[in-house]
Structure 1
Amino acid sequence: MPAIAPSAVAQPGHDCQLCPRLAEFRAENRQKLPDYFNGPVPAFGDDKPRFLIIGLAPGLHGANRTGRPFTGDWAGDLLFGTLLELKLATGTYDERPDDGLTLRGCRIVNGVRCVPPQNKPTPAEIKTCNTFLKAEIAASPARCYLALGSIAHDAALMALGERRSAFKFGHNRRHDLSDGRILIDSYHCSRYNTNTGVLTPQMFKEAMAQVKEAAGL
């Protein structure tokens, strides 16, 4: 079956009200930060990816500002720098959605599309937004996934119809799913994780390289 064009995938509207707390926070940010994107952040990358990178949610001054996943904060510096190093991206990452950066063979989507207060979505918000993650996965030819952090890991399993109890999160851990698809975990590439030594650039590169190999790139 041919992949569905990304434009045809179910997407939340810019004024999505499905999660009242997130909608209220977005409205507050539109008043405080009127030049920001301040909406559900769409996926970014290859239209026919070999693997999907699944993140947590937009950062307030990162993707919530720029409208592109991981663009404009430290997590993006490490993520896009690693993608460029592994030749999974071309161009230059300049923390702007119009910097010309292009992803090759991969696509980035967040488990929760809107920025949550304190970067912590609730279980109900994760479940509600999982509808859109499921749609992204269903429309993609990808059979491999890289989950950034335990919440993204759980959201990916939910979207893929797998039992969380069967697949425990672990950095650089590979999970062979029931239908032959592959999920690989990484600690989230946040500034906190790198500053505390939980995740090093080399550790992140190893996880990314493993999913690149699993995807046949």
Structure 2
Amino acid sequence: MTLNELLNRIHILLEKDVDFPISGDEEYLVRFELIKDAVQVWEKDDGNGTKWKELFTSLSSASDGDKTTTANDSTYDCPANLVEIIGYVKIGTGNNTIYYKKIEPYQVKEYQDNRIDCYYVTGNKKDGFDLHLVNTIPSEDGLTIDYDYYKTSTLPTAGTDVLEMDDDQFAVYWALSELVKDEDPSLSSQYASIATQKLDAMRLRNQGIDLYQDNIIRDSFRGFGR
């Protein structure tokens, strides 16, 4: 559903009519902000450490961040929505690809001494993050940089936007709970309970195995002396 459709659903459940507020109305703006708040609650998941599948992406899909090398440069900008890089950083294509292992900044000297290609990340949400390469520094311009990463959620900015979360009705009931908290605490608790159930269900699906997949690690040595 689009943001406007979510806002309309909030209005119907709250007011029991279809005289929907329009963009610019105070009711519209307040509910808009509560939807954004719900998105951030979903992203953080109250400290449960959930890594939402919807928030995994790759550098090639990002709208910013350095995607190609500059000769002899070891430091590159990361996307503004980066939380953490997942796995290896890859530079180049095909058989000429160099894979850089992730390390912590305090490990740089150790890996430099052992001539192991690796990377580390510095920075923060306010100033942005930088990717630092260790050992093999590309000597050419224009080599492709790629990596997978976990990103922040995208907050809606327009009525046509669609939320990233699997069940956007969580945002509806979260907003409803906040809207009636002062005047009807009992109803607010009911809405909060529905929102919590939806968040729990999303978390469960997020942890589950996809259809036609199994959770068995295949034994690559089966048949060799066994």
Greater strand content: 2
Please report the TM-score for the alignment, with normalisation by the length of structure 1: 0.27
Q: RCO greater where, 1 or 2, for CA within 8 Å and sep 6 or more?
A: 2
Larger Rg: 2
